[in-house]
Amino acid sequence: MSVSRRSLLAAGLGTGLLANLEVPVPALETADSFDPTRLTKADIPTPALLVDLDAFESNVQSMAEHCRKSGRGFRPHAKTHKCPEIAKRQMAAGALGICSATVREAEALVAAGITGVLLTSPIVEPAKIARMVSLIQQGKGVMLSVGHLREVELLAEAASAAGVDVDLLVDVDIGDRRTGILPGQPALELAQFIAKHKRLRVRGVQSYAGHASHVIGFEAREKTSREAMGKSVETRELLNKAGFDAAILSGGSTGTYNIDSTIQGVTELQVGSYVFMDIDYRRIGGKTSGENYSDFQHSLTVLATVVNATHPDRVSVDAGTKALDTTTNWKPEAKGWTGLTYNRGGDEFGIMTLEPGAKLPRIGDRIEFIVPHCDPNVNLYDRIYATRGDKVEAIWSIAACRS
């Protein structure tokens, strides 16, 4: 008999946490009927993904307030959280819509009633294009980005067959060299090609300067981002002069939000990591905070349990590479513990070693880890425990993780 990942996770929840609470074991699909407020952190089976609601809510409101004051819109990126409940809170804070990196994310957002969904990644597979066309028929304000003639041709064929109009942003490569068309004349020619198809409409430009978002030091980061986004501003102006109604210039990142929002011509920010933050962002330095980037709080952690203390110089936790993303150069950081270093111990385990004079945790102790990179870490889970202090207030589904 085959066992799905969902069934396995639900079973694990039942035999541990929920069994101890003497309540019926809910499958993941029916977990909405379970009252999570009965739980504390001590009840959560580990490893688990947690969000501190006080820090999270502060981050959401801080970004929204910044955008209001700077006169810019924001369309946060769901690739960070993949969670409709978080998207709803971003919309409630004033977001114009929500960005998605995958068709699956877009589907989850539209199914949750989110409007203004923008697919920021290119798609050329007919099945994915058909799914996006279907979403346009279901949702309100769904848009796609395109950076190649073939993408346009495939979308035009699907839109014509379905009898739907598709709104597009011209995806402009301003330095990342991974998606999009070159700025200036090549982008204009792509827009003109789009205009030849009656079911397609150019709404503006999209640009992501990923190479700028993690530049160390605010001044260096500002210089890099301004140079990159300037190409996008010029491209948008070129499209408008050619007769296009390029009302949108969507781009930016958490690392450059307070730079890109000051650039004339940028209309909205595609910020993502600000809701959670991670070690990778913390190291880039802030405008006024020195070496540590502290504009937003660390709200995301992975909760783990010490499961072995055989050796005097180390302990093992139940969070290995299946629970903590270790693809960056940075290591997970034990929150509230000094002198402890996380080391990879395989798929299921992490090894905590200590500096001279530091104290090792005991077996059964619980440790929360600040993650190196929030986006791929979220992708390892199917739910987030939303906590306030020691209490659990909600369990949010990660509806669009890649499996």
Tokens of 359: 């104290």
Q: Determine what percent of the chain is predicted with pLDDT higher than 90.
A: 89
Average pLDDT over residues 190-209: 98
Directed axis angle between helix 149-162 and helix 126-138, to 10°? 50
d(CA 294, CA 296): 5
Q: What is the DSSP letter of 256?
A: G
Render 101-119 in DSSP notation, one character per residue: SSHHHHHHHHHTT--SEEE
d(CA 389, CA 40): 9
Q: Which of 33-42, 164-173, 296-305, 366-375 has the lowest mean pLDDT?
A: 33-42
d(CA 333, CA 156): 48
Average pLDDT over residues 45-54: 98
Q: Which of the four pLDDT bands, split at 50, 70 and 90, describes residue 255?
A: very high
Q: Which of the four pLDDT bands, split at 50, 70 and 90, describes residue 31?
A: low
Tokens of 276: 């959670």
Helix (H, G, I), strand (E, B) or coil at 357: coil
The pLDDT assigned to 185 comes to 98
Under the phi-then-psi rule, with left for phi > 0, alpha for psi from -120 to 50, and beta for the rest, what region is 329?
A: alpha
Average pLDDT over residues 226-235: 98
| Better pLDDT: 264 or 28 | 264
Q: Determine what percent of the chain is predicted with pLDDT higher than 70.
A: 92
Residue type, 228: A
d(CA 318, CA 356): 24
pLDDT surpasses 80 at 118: yes
Q: Which of the four pLDDT bands, split at 50, 70 and 90, describes residue 14?
A: very low
Average pLDDT over residues 351-380: 96
The pLDDT assigned to 15 comes to 34
Domains of the chain: 5-52+295-397 (2.40.37.20), 53-277 (3.20.20.10)
